[in-house]
Amino acid sequence: MSALLQVEGLVKTFSVPAGLVGSRSVSAVAGVSLHVDRAEVLGLVGESGSGKTTLGRCVLGMTPVDGGSITFDGAEVTALRGRRRAEFRRRVQPVFQDPYASLDPRWRVGRSIREALDAHRTGTRANRHQRVLDLLDRVGLSPSYAERLPRQLSGGQRQRVGVAAALASGPDLIVADEPVSALDVSVQAQVLNLFADLQRDLGVAVLFIAHDLAVVEHLSQRVAVMYLGRIAEVASTRDIFAGPSHPYTRALVAAIPHPDPEHRIDVVPLSGEIPSPLDPPAGCRFHPRCPLVTDICHTVRPDLEPVSSTQLAACLVTAPPTPAHAPH
């Protein structure tokens, strides 16, 4: 069976003003391929400037793409118009870091969720009120919350309302961008439990974008690691955390501050900082910081190559290309 979401060679470049009249291009996503299976949580991790948020916005259709393709359930997303576009928007829903951004502060919670049901013409008008209450129950909120305003809710409750609104249309895929990073750990636990329940009970697939590796390891079946607009590695969660192949993934995993004093970081895993996407390095974009760098890394851009049946890495040293695909 084909993947629910398939991204191939995606390119997104932004133009930023430079000087008085000129402009420069920022290569935010530079040829990214990945897929999300049905009912799967794919974690997408990366540091600031990695392009993970831009990738999420492209998948949601919120940002036009400059190249490559995005197919959802077999159909090319960028070509969808009219009713089929509306159907895509029903089936792919966003959840953002700040639930304030997706809730109208003047509307009671019930109305915000109701709006989502009305927009997608879900169910009959008569049973939509019951559906609002069902959705609140689904995210662990009692019916009385339908009458509250967003400002009367705590951060965790607001994020659960945000998830309820995303669920209103009965989506197959949720694109969640840092949905728990603004929350305290005890509140974060509620929202993470909710995402796990959605996947298990409703079979909703999630593209879970986050910078927190512990959160991603806990929730995801597979993980994609982005660095400066490229996928460095994509593999099963176990491979990423127990046997990372790409030198950047290795450094990232080694930098995790484990909540375990017996498991301290002994050697700082990576020196230097992520370069500006205004002027990305040639060849492998990680080469200026890479401990394993070789001459060809300066000039040849690595593509994802299989390391095992569950692991792909874009590294000329740890995952050298097979002769058939060798770059010239």
Partner 1 sequence: MTGPVLAVQDLRVGFATPQGLVSAVDGVSLTVGAGEVVGLVGESGCGKSTLANAVLGLLPAAAQVSGAAQLDGEQLLGLEESRLRRLRGDRISMVFQDPSTSLDPTFAVGEQVAETIRAHRRVSRADARAQAVRLMSEVGIPDAARRYGDAPHRFSGGMRQRIVIAAALANQPAMLIADEPTTALDVTIQAQILSLIAGLCRDRGTAVLLITHDLGVVAQICDRVGVMYAGQLVEEAPVRRLFAQPQHPYTRALLGALPTADARPGGLTVIPGQVPDLSGPLPGCRFLDRCPQARPECPTRPDPVTVGDTRVACWDVSARLVPEGSQP
Tell which one of 4, 166, 219, 226 touches partner 1 (CB under 8 A). 219
Distance CA(232)–CA(281), nearest Å, equals 14
Specify the length of the chain in residues.
328
In the structure encoding, which two tokens stand for residue 291, read together?
């401990």
**Residue 322 binds partner 1 (CB under 8 A):** no
Binding mask 221-240 for partner 1 (x = CB under 8 A): ----------------x---
Residue 120 and residue 87: Cα distance in Å, rounded? Answer: 8
What 3-state DSSP class applies to 141?
coil
Identify which range of 125-133, 255-263, 292-300, 318-326 contacts partner 1 by CB under 8 A: 255-263
Binding residue for partner 1 (CB under 8 A) from 58, 117, 176, 213? 213
Task: Estimate to the nearest angstrom the gap between the alpha carbon of 140 and the chain centroid.
Answer: 24
Instruction: Provide the 3-class DSSP secondary structure of residue 114.
Output: helix
Work out how close the CB of 270 gets to partner 1 at its nearest, in angstroms, rounded to a whole number: 5
| Residue with Cβ nearer partner 1 (10 or 215) | 215
CA–CA separation, 248 and 254 (whole Å): 10
137 binds partner 1 (CB under 8 A): no
Nearer to partner 1, 6 or 237 (CB): 237
Member of 67, 143, 203, 257 binding partner 1 (CB under 8 A):
257
Tell me if 208 contacts partner 1 by CB under 8 A.
Answer: no
d(CA 198, CA 139): 9
Please, which residues have CB within 8 angstroms of residue 48's CB and are 6 or more apart in sequence?
211, 274
Interface with partner 1 includes 251 (CB under 8 A)?
yes
Other C-beta atoms closer than 10 Å to the C-beta of 302 total: 25
What single DSSP character describes residue 169? T
Q: Is 48 an interacting residue with respect to partner 1 (CB under 8 A)?
A: yes
Interface region with partner 1, contact rule CB under 8 A, candidates 68-76, 97-105, 125-133, 250-258: 250-258
Nearest Cα residue to 163 out of 125, 120, 185, 193: 193
To the nearest whole angstrom, how small is the minimum distance from the Cβ of residue 217 to partner 1?
Answer: 5
Q: Which is nearer to partner 1, 18 or 326 (CB)?
A: 18
By CB under 8 A, is residue 37 in contact with partner 1? Answer: no
CA–CA distance, 19 with 108 (Å, rounded to integer): 46
Residue 111 contacts partner 1 per CB under 8 A: no
Q: Does 255 bind partner 1 (CB under 8 A)?
A: yes
Question: Is residue 273 close enough to count as binding partner 1 by CB under 8 A?
Answer: yes
- Show the tokens assigned to 128: 């939509």
- Single-letter residue type at 279: D
Q: Which of residues 143-162 bind partner 1 (CB under 8 A)?
A: 154
The position carrying tokens 């109208």 is: 104
Question: Which residues contact partner 1 (rule: CB under 8 A)?
Answer: 47-48, 154, 184-190, 192-193, 196-197, 199-200, 211, 213-215, 217-219, 237, 241, 251-252, 254-265, 268-271, 273-274
